[in-house]
Structure 1
Amino acid sequence: MQWLVLLVFLPTCLAHLNVYLSSAEVWRLLGLTAELYYVREGQINLYALNFLVPVPATIGELNFTWQSLARKPLPYSLRVDVVSNPEALHTPTLSIASTGFVPTEPQTWQVELPCTRTVAAEVDVTISLNVSIGSNSTVVHFRRRKICLKDSPRPAVRVDNAPHSATSADIFYAGAGCAGALLLIAAVAAAGCRARARKLRRARSEEQDAHAFLPDSSCKSAASYTSYRRPTSVPTVAAEERARDLQQRIAELTIQRCRVRLRSVAMEGTFGRVYRGTYADEDGREQEVLVKTVAEHASQVQLSLLLQEGCMLYGIHHERVLSVLGVSIEDQTAPFLLYPWGSQWRNLKQFLLACRGVTIGGATGCAPPPPLTTQHVVRMALHALDGLAYLHSQHVLHKDISARNCVVDENLRVMIADNALSRDLFPADYHCLGDNENRPIKWLALEALSKKQFSPASDVWALGVLLWELTTLSHQPYAEVDPFEVAAYLRDGYRLQQPANCPDELFAVMAYCWAMSPDDRPTLPQLQIFLRDFHAQLTRFV
Structure 2
Amino acid sequence: MGHPKILFITLVQVIYCLRYSSASFNLYLSPQELQRLLGLQAELNYVRDGQINDYALNFTLPLSSKLNKLYFTWENTGSQKLPYSIKIDISNKIAIPHPKLNISATGFVPSSTQIFAVSLPCSETVDAEVNISIKISITFSDKNITTLDFKRKKTCINESIKNDVSKNSLTFADSSSVFYIAVCCAILLVLILGILITIYYVTDKKGRGTKTNGNGPGTTTTTTFLATLPRNSVNVSSYASFRRMPSYSLLDERSKDLQERITELSVQRCRVRLSSIILEGTFGRVYQGSYTNEEGNEETVIIKTVADHASQVQISLLLQEGMAMCSLNHKNILSILRVSIEDHSTPFLLYPFNNYKNLKIFLQKCKLSSEGVHHTLTTQEVVRMALQIIKAMQYLHKRHLLHKDLAARNCVVNDKLNIQVADNALSRDLFPSDYHCLGDNENRPVKWLALESLLHKTFSPASDVWSFGVLLWELTTLAQQPYIEIDPFEMAAYLKDGYRLAQPINCPDELFAVMAYCWAMSAEERPTFTQLHVCLQDFFTQLTKYV
| Larger-gyration structure (1/2) | 2
1:495 Cα deviation (Å)? 0.1
Counterpart of 1:182 in structure 2 is 242
1:352 aligns with 2:363: yes
What is the one-letter code of the residue matched to 2:261? R
Counterpart of 2:143 in structure 1 is none
Whole-angstrom CA distance in 1 between matches of 2:239 and 2:249: 18
Whole-angstrom CA distance in 1 between matches of 2:247 and 2:430: 25
Aligned pairs for 1:85-96 (under 5 A) are none
1:420 Cα deviation (Å)? 0.4
Counterpart of 1:298 in structure 2 is 310
Whole-angstrom CA distance in 1 between matches of 2:330 and 2:305: 24
Whole-angstrom CA distance in 2 between matches of 1:441 and 1:358: 30
Whole-angstrom CA distance in 2 between matches of 1:283 and 1:178: 38
Task: Summarize deviations over 1:218-266 as a string: whole Å, max 9, x none.
Answer: xxxxxxxxxxxxxxxxxxxxx62x2211211211111111111111100
1:463 aligns with 2:468: yes
Counterpart of 2:334 in structure 1 is 322
Counterpart of 1:486 in structure 2 is 491
Structure 1-normalised TM-score?
0.57
Unaligned runs of at least 5 residues, structure 2: 1-203, 218-236
Partners of 1:180 and 1:334 within 8 A in 2: no
Whole-angstrom CA distance in 2 between matches of 1:152 and 1:536: 78
Partners of 1:442 and 1:483 within 8 A in 2: yes
Provide the secondary structure at the position in 2 that maps to 1:526: helix
Aligned pairs for 1:55-66 (under 5 A) are none
What is the one-letter code of the residue matched to 1:498? Q
Provide the secondary structure at the position in 1 that maps to 2:401: coil
1:329 Cα deviation (Å)? 1.6
1:185 Cα deviation (Å)? 2.9
1:518 aligns with 2:516: no
1:340 aligns with 2:400: no
Query: 1:368 and 1:396, CA in 2 relative to 1: closer, same or farther beyond 3 A?
Result: farther
What is the one-letter code of the residue matched to 2:402? L
Partners of 2:518 and 2:526 within 8 A in 1: yes
What is the one-letter code of the residue matched to 1:515? A
Provide the secondary structure at the position in 2 that maps to 1:376: helix
1:284 Cα deviation (Å)? 1.2
1:154 aligns with 2:159: no
Query: 1:474 and 1:155, CA in 2 relative to 1: closer, same or farther beyond 3 A?
Result: farther
Unaligned runs of at least 5 residues, structure 1: 1-116, 121-148, 157-176, 191-212, 214-238, 360-366
Whole-angstrom CA distance in 2 between matches of 1:185 and 1:252: 21
Aligned pairs for 1:396-411 (under 5 A) are 396-411=401-416
Which of residues 400, 415, 418 is equivalent to 2:420?
Answer: 415
Partners of 1:180 and 1:333 within 8 A in 2: no
1:118 Cα deviation (Å)? 9.8
What is the one-letter code of the residue matched to 2:359? L
What is the one-letter code of the residue matched to 2:368? G
Whole-angstrom CA distance in 1 between matches of 2:532 and 2:434: 25
1:151 Cα deviation (Å)? 5.4
Aligned pairs for 1:4-153 (under 5 A) are 150=211
Counterpart of 2:269 in structure 1 is 257
Query: 1:189 and 1:250, CA in 2 relative to 1: closer, same or farther beyond 3 A?
Result: farther
Query: 1:309 and 1:275, CA in 2 relative to 1: closer, same or farther beyond 3 A?
Result: same
Structure 2-normalised TM-score?
0.56
What is the one-letter code of the residue matched to 2:323? C
Aligned pairs for 1:524-535 (under 5 A) are 524-535=529-540
Q: What is the Cα-based RMSD across aligned positions, in Å?
A: 2.6
Query: Which of the two has greater helix per residue?
Result: 2
Whole-angstrom CA distance in 2 between matches of 1:380 and 1:471: 11
Partners of 1:351 and 1:369 within 8 A in 2: no
What is the one-letter code of the residue matched to 1:490? L
What is the one-letter code of the residue matched to 1:282? E
Whole-angstrom CA distance in 1 between matches of 2:341 and 2:244: 9
1:389 aligns with 2:394: yes
1:483 Cα deviation (Å)? 0.1
1:431 aligns with 2:436: yes
1:541 Cα deviation (Å)? 3.3
Task: Summarize deviations over 1:403-451 as a string: whole Å, max 9, x none.
Answer: 0000001110101100000000000000000011100000000000001
Provide the secondary structure at the position in 1 that maps to 2:447: helix
Partners of 1:382 and 1:531 within 8 A in 2: yes
User: What is the number of residues matched between the two proteins?
Assistant: 323
Partners of 1:181 and 1:333 within 8 A in 2: no
% identical equivalent positions: 60
